Structure 1
């Protein structure tokens, strides 16, 4: 029920819609399609890779107060851990990846990309597609069987397990249990991330992990609050609304919020993270009374002019936040580096995170973000080549403190970055060649994201303090890593229906009192079927 949710649903809906057509044709002759409704078979468990935290780098500067806490660093270590070996065999590696950053220059005019080839030992041939076009491009590649050796796969599209069984390498024999120890940086990926790679009793991918930094939090322009002389703290919904009224001034092009802060409100009202699981039985967040209460609070924020007026129909929250049109912005922790990079140097830009608040003074239980951004699949092939490709992915997962991590993020010193006050800062050339430090190789796989903000070491402490206040109390989506055929084939359409109904309420076109009728229709359209299938999936995993 957020302006963030419809954007995610739309993106995945495009993927699901495009791939649904392509996958149906591609897999028509495969036996796996006949099992598309065998929920227990599709969700059969497997022995996951061992988790072996990497201990070869610098010690974090702050203690790990939770098993989920990312390692925290304020500066690049003076001595980097060298890469053990070049993993590739000199062959061409064709890959398909999305990007949220500008597409970097092609290899022929990009020395940074050429340096990746040297370090990985492959001729890296990437098809890079902007995220907005990824769904259609992926569907076209599936239909034409041109995805390549390594390709990013998002989790919600039609016939995902059948597609992976037909086209991707089953990595179970190589990575399950202690097998992953042959790839120490992949063994450093958390167990929760590996759960998102399992389908039909096999490991069919490598995680693209993000960990708790995918969690949505309310970012604050601390510098602007101080200029206004306003304390941005609040203890309940009434104080939050009062704060928003105090700082909103549409005549000065200033609103409290860039969008309805669903994660903050969900914690206030005790709304479950998508589904609530009790004894193997599931209740969707739409079905609890607290969701309707949250919907009313959201409607009121918009009606009172406390949210940017374009937030539902033409969202551009990051720009509004950086420009100061929105003093608070719900986005993930992982958005922080990009926000810092967009800020004008010398502008005094400073951000903090609002604490989560629980219902009626109770301890807050925020929605914990999903462990992965996506997964990466390898095209089926000879075991020798699969092992070589996994070696390349192992290099891609090299952690903070290694030479490989430093090169991936910053490139060539003196060309792509310079050291300023001991911190690497990308040059104009580096921003272009490395895609703003987010070269889409990160969608092959990545190390667990550290708390490190180049040139802004104080942010490490700010984010650490925010995470420490709630991390062990965060609630997960109990259906993460499970597959529902109905969710796969009908989920995007059902999601669009619910999103449209939510937006009608938010924009005053429908009363909140009509929400229960919407939920009944949502259940009829597929919500109940998804519930049954996810419950069967839970049973299959629990019985393994």
Structure 2
């Protein structure tokens, strides 16, 4: 599960419209973190040119933090790209994550065949388990042998020490193709928000093609059908979660209350910041250092000790949540917003009673203050291998441009749904996936770029309205972050401490370490790079008037 999502896993949503502004006036050493001046970023990234689709208007209005909602499917889709992007016809190699069942491969998958025909050449995906994708990425980057395109989620990137140095060594500089008005050659990429592009600069080099981000990293989801069957209500606080754990869990019936990731919801519910927080004395404290974080650890120890967490998650923090959620063995978990429609598509066909619903943001205690963490402007990046030559690099950027087509286009429809009559049918204006579609169509091409968000999964009854309502409420609860609007790269020492520190925290949850060890673990984090990182972030904050 993502540590700071995304949520990859939250595919729907609308990124904040604020433009990234100045960091430090001079680029810092990458190993110590970087902050780049806005005027330099402006010279590196595309000039935004909105891509308008005639006649396409949302039923539910969007705003800075709320995706526009579409309650029905457009009667016709426009063709956004009239030429095939892969002009050489040469096979493209790509590595992408997947949180689900791997589809049949090239030669055995009609969805691949049809998309590749439209592209002008085949894409060969190396699909890796999203739950352990970070480990695969670390190994890949260390080897230096990367495929032509690599999808890197932000929540994995921040845990990889010296990522910027690796990216600068292994991946292409995209500014010669996309900076300023050059992006007009790739109009669907020029359609992205500027903030997302600016967040794709690593060590002063534009390298990532961003997945324009949902501002909300995750939410709590429940199996509403099971809650209803048991006569239970959705939780409105952490206290309610404790009560639900006891009411739901029944090992004899192979049913447990909780899956993975609930620690992040409780950190948020107790009021810990997503990253840094300004203290009353004008200094910064990191989330690990707050009493709210410590309270969340105590809470999670209770959940695990009570036996309310599914044994697969107890045994392996990276175990798949979706499968046990779909089977009904687990009833409550945390995931990105995009999991909502993904799970409905995966499980509802075989179980029409399957009803996943989202829980309104809640505090730790009833009546407490509720906050919602705020995501970065981009949640994933597609990187292109360095040294491929001008023609091939341009060809792969053209591929990313094609896969960036927004809702309302034929390209979007093909990438997300396949071919009508084969992978899906349309009944009463709503898409219904066929058995072949469920087998063959999986998130793959979508990871070769991003696209502006749209809340448009109208084939699932009530989802568009419910998601719009949730985002509208959550938008009023977004936490104050001292670094909103700044492009700051995490110092490598700090990035390298995330996994070992949080692995030790996970051991505390599971009773493998006493909770009394947390202050020692925290001090190790501070001494080994946390305090040094604080000085860097405080310098950036002061230079930008944030402290």
Contact 2:269 2:364 in 1 (8 A): yes
Q: Give distance in 2, aligned partners of 1:127 and 1:53.
A: 30
2:68 alignment partner in structure 1: 71
CA gap of 1:222–1:110, structure 2 versus 1, over 3 A, is: closer
1:46 alignment partner in structure 2: 41
Mean Cα deviation higher: 409-418 or 309-318: 309-318
CA gap of 1:382–1:502, structure 2 versus 1, over 3 A, is: closer
Matches within 5 A, 1:78-97: 78-88=75-85, 90-91=87-88, 92=90, 94-97=92-95
Partner SS, residue 338 of structure 2: helix
Contact 2:482 2:541 in 1 (8 A): no
Contact 2:95 2:147 in 1 (8 A): no
Deviations 1:386-443 (A, max 9, x none): 44433321111101110111111122223222234433333333333323xx1x2222
Whether 1:152 aligns to 2:151 is: yes
Contact 2:35 2:488 in 1 (8 A): no
Contact 1:416 1:431 in 2 (8 A): yes
How far the C-alpha of 1:525 sits from its partner, in A, is 2.3
How far the C-alpha of 1:541 sits from its partner, in A, is 7.9
Q: Give distance in 1, aligned partners of 2:165 and 2:36.
A: 9
1:24 alignment partner in structure 2: none
Instruction: Name whichever structure is richer in helix by fraction.
Output: 1
Q: Give distance in 1, aligned partners of 2:448 and 2:482.
A: 24
Q: Give distance in 2, aligned partners of 1:5 and 1:477.
A: 20
How far the C-alpha of 1:129 sits from its partner, in A, is 3.2
4+ residue segments displaced more than 6 Å? 41-44, 539-543
TM-score normalised to structure 1 length: 0.81
Which consecutive residues of structure 2, in runs of 5 or more, have no partner in the other structure?
Answer: 7-27
Q: Give distance in 1, aligned partners of 2:544 and 2:137.
A: 33
Partner SS, residue 456 of structure 2: coil
Q: Give distance in 2, aligned partners of 1:166 and 1:504.
A: 35
CA gap of 1:94–1:280, structure 2 versus 1, over 3 A, is: farther
1:482 alignment partner in structure 2: 488
Contact 1:103 1:128 in 2 (8 A): no
Q: Give distance in 2, aligned partners of 1:97 and 1:491.
A: 22
1:241 alignment partner in structure 2: 242
Contact 2:161 2:492 in 1 (8 A): no
Q: Give distance in 2, aligned partners of 1:146 and 1:302.
A: 39
How far the C-alpha of 1:273 sits from its partner, in A, is 0.2
Deviations 1:56-76 (A, max 9, x none): 152111122x31212212332
Q: Name which of 311, 319, 324 aligns with 2:323.
A: 319
CA gap of 1:77–1:295, structure 2 versus 1, over 3 A, is: same
Q: Give distance in 2, aligned partners of 1:526 and 1:448.
A: 36
Q: Name which of 338, 357, 363 aligns with 2:362.
A: 357
Deviations 1:309-343 (A, max 9, x none): 44232334222222222221111111112211232
* Aligned length, in residue pairs: 505
Q: Give distance in 1, aligned partners of 2:135 and 2:510.
A: 29
2:445 alignment partner in structure 1: 441
CA gap of 1:280–1:483, structure 2 versus 1, over 3 A, is: farther
Q: CA RMSD in A?
A: 3.4
Q: Give distance in 2, aligned partners of 1:139 and 1:520.
A: 29
Q: Name which of 391, 394, 397 aligns with 2:398.
A: 391
2:307 alignment partner in structure 1: 305
Q: Give distance in 1, aligned partners of 2:282 and 2:41.
A: 20
TM-score normalised to structure 2 length: 0.81
Contact 2:36 2:487 in 1 (8 A): no
CA gap of 1:535–1:172, structure 2 versus 1, over 3 A, is: farther
Which consecutive residues of structure 1, in runs of 5 or more, have no partner in the other structure?
Answer: 9-33
Q: Give distance in 2, aligned partners of 1:163 and 1:87.
A: 32
Deviations 1:430-478 (A, max 9, x none): 333323xx1x222211323422325314111121111111124323694
1:275 alignment partner in structure 2: 276
CA gap of 1:457–1:176, structure 2 versus 1, over 3 A, is: farther
Partner SS, residue 470 of structure 1: helix
Q: Give distance in 2, aligned partners of 1:270 and 1:465.
A: 22
2:381 alignment partner in structure 1: 375
1:22 alignment partner in structure 2: none
CA gap of 1:259–1:389, structure 2 versus 1, over 3 A, is: closer
Whether 1:290 aligns to 2:292 is: yes
Deviations 1:264-312 (A, max 9, x none): 3223311000222569953211101111111111212222333324423
Contact 2:263 2:297 in 1 (8 A): no
1:128 alignment partner in structure 2: 126
Q: Name which of 405, 412, 428 aligns with 1:405.
A: 412
